[in-house]
């Protein structure tokens, strides 16, 4: 039988890995948008350029919000199947998903914002979205952990 602490570390580590991946892709997207639409564009670049960069940032934010509950569900079922204890499975998967989301979102947003041009708003200005994402992801992990412990 697997130790609950080990599964918690695996869940959080997986979220961190995905956060790094999303952050790198977000950084590359924002940097590309900045170079294509701010640095080399002519005409209305001062108006459209920051919008293009923000679209890249928004894409990273949406990716974080959509992939986190899916990741929590998959990891929750897997950890629940390993622990077999309903309470432990629920706490480990839910807590791991909550902590994991916080780290995933923070890493992804910080890396994405490394490509931020002057005048564009940082993505941390959406605390309601991050709070909702954390709650939904934590609950998804908890319920999935419970289901995994019941089904296997």
Tokens 């923070």, residue located: 106
At 26 the pLDDT is: 86
Q: What is the pTM of this model?
A: 0.85
What tokens appear for 106 in the block?
Answer: 């923070």
pLDDT, tens digit, 9 for 90 and up, residues 88-134: 999 999 999 999 999 999 998 888 888 665 545 555 667 888 899 99
Residues in the chain: 152
What tokens appear for 54 in the block?
Answer: 């923000």
The Cα 4–Cα 80 span in angstroms is 10
Tokens 């790198």, residue located: 24
The Cα 93–Cα 17 span in angstroms is 17
**Residue 63: how many CA atoms within 13 Å on its side-chain side?**
22
Please, which residues have CB within 8 angstroms of residue 137's CB and are 6 or more apart in sequence?
A: 68, 69, 71, 72, 97, 98, 100, 101
At 1 the pLDDT is: 53
Q: How confident is the model at residue 6 (pLDDT cuts 50, 70, 90)?
A: very high
Please state, in angstroms and as integers, the Cα–Cα distance from residue 67 to each residue in 24, 91, 100, 133, 150, following that order: 15, 21, 12, 10, 24
CA dihedral over 91, 94, 95, 96, signed as positive or negative:
positive
What tokens appear for 90 in the block?
Answer: 């629920």
pLDDT, tens digit, 9 for 90 and up, residues 32-74: 877 776 655 555 555 666 777 778 778 888 899 999 999 999 9
Tokens 């900045």, residue located: 34
């Amino acid at each position: 039988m697997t130790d609950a602490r080990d599964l918690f570390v695996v869940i959080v580590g997986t979220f961190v890995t995905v956060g790094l991946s999303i952050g790198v892709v977000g950084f590359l997207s924002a940097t590309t948008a900045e170079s294509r639409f701010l640095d080399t564009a002519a005409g209305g670049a001062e108006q459209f350029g920051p919008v293009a960069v923000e679209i890249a940032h928004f894409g990273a934010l949406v990716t974080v919000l959509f992939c986190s509950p899916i990741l929590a569900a998959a990891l929750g079922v897997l950890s629940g199947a390993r622990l077999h204890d309903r309470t432990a499975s629920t706490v480990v998967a839910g807590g791991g998903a909550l902590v994991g989301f916080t780290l995933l979102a923070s890493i992804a947003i910080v890396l994405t914002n490394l490509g931020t041009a002057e005048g564009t708003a940082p993505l941390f200005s959406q605390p309601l979205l991050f709070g909702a994402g954390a709650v939904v992801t934590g609950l998804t992990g908890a319920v999935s952990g419970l289901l995994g412990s019941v089904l296997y």
